[in-house]
Amino acid sequence: MNKQQGLALAVAVAIALGAMVFWPATSVAPSAPAPAASVEAPAEEEEEGALVLNEQQIQAAGIQLAKAQPRQISTLLSLPGEVRFDEDRTSHIVPRAAGVVESVKVNLGQKVKQGELLAVIASQQISDQRSELAASERRVELARTTFQRERQLWQDKISAEQDYLLARQTLQEAEIALNNARQKMNALSGSAVLAGGNRYELRAPFAGVVVEKHLGVGEVVSETSAAFTLSDLSQVWVTFGVFPKDLNKVQVGKPVKVSSTEMGTDVMGTVAYVGNLLGEQTRTATVRVSVANPDDSWRPGLFVAVQVATDTYSAAVTVPVEAIQTVEDKPSLFVRTAEGFITRHVELGVSENGFVEVRQGLEAGAQVATVGSFVLKSELGKASAEHAH
């Protein structure tokens, strides 16, 4: 190898080494975005649960918003209860005199007006009292005539004063007997009205519903027989038992929410009475709530759930109950953002009157979806399914 060949070989080796040094640098360049992708991954996780919607789409979906804000809210004591008749508006009608039922004019469950005829009863006792009253009236008339005559004779000094005094005493005794006979007849007043002869009528003392009926035509009844039970169902009682440890939380005047899962309705009332005695079996005190019942939907005997408001405090953040949706088995809210909505898992507290306390996961002032939030939950489910595929 001469000198020129050696120089050419050295140049070739140098070019080859330079190419080896340059090639790794150029081969790494296409994979340079990889670190950038790893940096953007957390951003995608932060956007998980986000829904992009413009204002027109929100309005078209019928989604309404509400502002999370502080609110006075009460802790609730939940207890089982039962609907009962309002005993102040319930009457157990009994015959005023023994007799035989001639006719019954109403049926079980029938609504009656005040004074409406319920039944007619024939009674020998009524006949005897009528005869006694008539005899007493005639005796008074006769005694009054005799008294007036004897008084005139005594004044004219024709008869002795003793005859006059005897006539006056006889008149007074007759008047006492007449008043006694009238009181016996008046004792039949109230739900009974004399109908003439030996009959009297049972009439409704107030407007209500015939909830019990215990007599039929031809039946013999007495003053102790339960003929009808009449109740005004426009208002009913709800009673429930409270253990001694909770009695200091339940006071007269406290608001109470009565709800029925069977009917799917609820009504508000107030505590009207707290019992002073504990039941021998239940060891609880009976609490009574008066509830309006204009549609007769709260029927006596119905089991209900009772919630009594106890302590009241200021909740920092509350939202309407309808805004709460379950996402990933957690209570969640859809919070309004500039691009649409984002899902927030939250921790809930006490709920009352359609609002629920949010203890963690949301700040006051945030706008959350209420009506239509279920639509957002459905869209979020679709997006998760597409992302999985």
**pLDDT for position 191:** 52
Q: Quick one: average pLDDT of 336-365?
A: 85
Q: Is the pLDDT of residue 190 over 70?
A: no
User: pTM for this structure?
Assistant: 0.54
Quote the tokens at residue 53.
């919607």
Single out the residue of 369, 325, 383, 372 nearest to residue 61, CA to CA. Answer: 372
Q: Is the pLDDT of residue 216 over 90?
A: no
Query: What's the pLDDT tens digit per position in 314-342?
Result: 888 889 888 888 888 888 888 888 888 88
Given a contact cutoff of 8 angstroms between Cβ atoms, the answer to whether 191 and 173 are in contact is no
Single out the residue of 225, 227, 224, 222 nearest to residue 99, CA to CA. Answer: 222
Identity (one letter) of the amino acid at 377?
A: K
**pLDDT for position 315:** 84
**pLDDT, greater one: 362 or 130:** 362
Residues of the chain with CATH 2.40.420.20: 49-71+314-388
Best CATH choice for the domain 76-87+232-313 from the list 3.40.630.10, 3.20.20.70, 2.40.30.170, 3.40.50.150: 2.40.30.170
Facing residues of 14 across strands?
none
Best CATH choice for the domain 88-231 from the list 3.40.605.10, 3.30.1330.10, 2.60.120.10, 2.40.50.100: 2.40.50.100
pLDDT band, very low/low/confident/very high, at 81 (cuts 50, 70, 90): very high
**pLDDT for position 29:** 38
Neighbours of 207 (CB within 10 A): 14
**pLDDT for position 23:** 39
Residues of the chain with CATH 2.40.50.100: 88-231
Neighbours of 283 (CB within 10 A): 10
Choice among 57-61, 187-191, 224-228 with the minimum mean pLDDT: 187-191
Choice among 191-195, 292-296, 372-376 with the minimum mean pLDDT: 191-195
Given a contact cutoff of 8 angstroms between Cβ atoms, the answer to whether 302 and 262 are in contact is yes
Residue with tokens 């003053």: 223
pLDDT band, very low/low/confident/very high, at 230 (cuts 50, 70, 90): very high
Q: Is the pLDDT of residue 30 over 60?
A: no
DSSP string, 262-282: TTTEEEEEEEEEEEEEE-TTT
Given a contact cutoff of 8 angstroms between Cβ atoms, the answer to whether 76 and 355 are in contact is no
CA dihedral sign, ordered 166, 171, 172, 176: positive
Facing residues of 76 across strands?
309
Residues of the chain with CATH 2.40.30.170: 76-87+232-313
Give me the percent of the chain exceeding a pLDDT of 70.
83
Q: Is the pLDDT of residue 288 over 90?
A: yes
242: three-class secondary structure by DSSP:
strand
DSSP secondary structure code for residue 119 in this structure: E
Give me the percent of the chain exceeding a pLDDT of 90.
13
Best CATH choice for the domain 49-71+314-388 from the list 3.40.50.150, 3.40.50.2300, 2.40.40.20, 2.40.420.20: 2.40.420.20
Residue with tokens 């006051």: 364
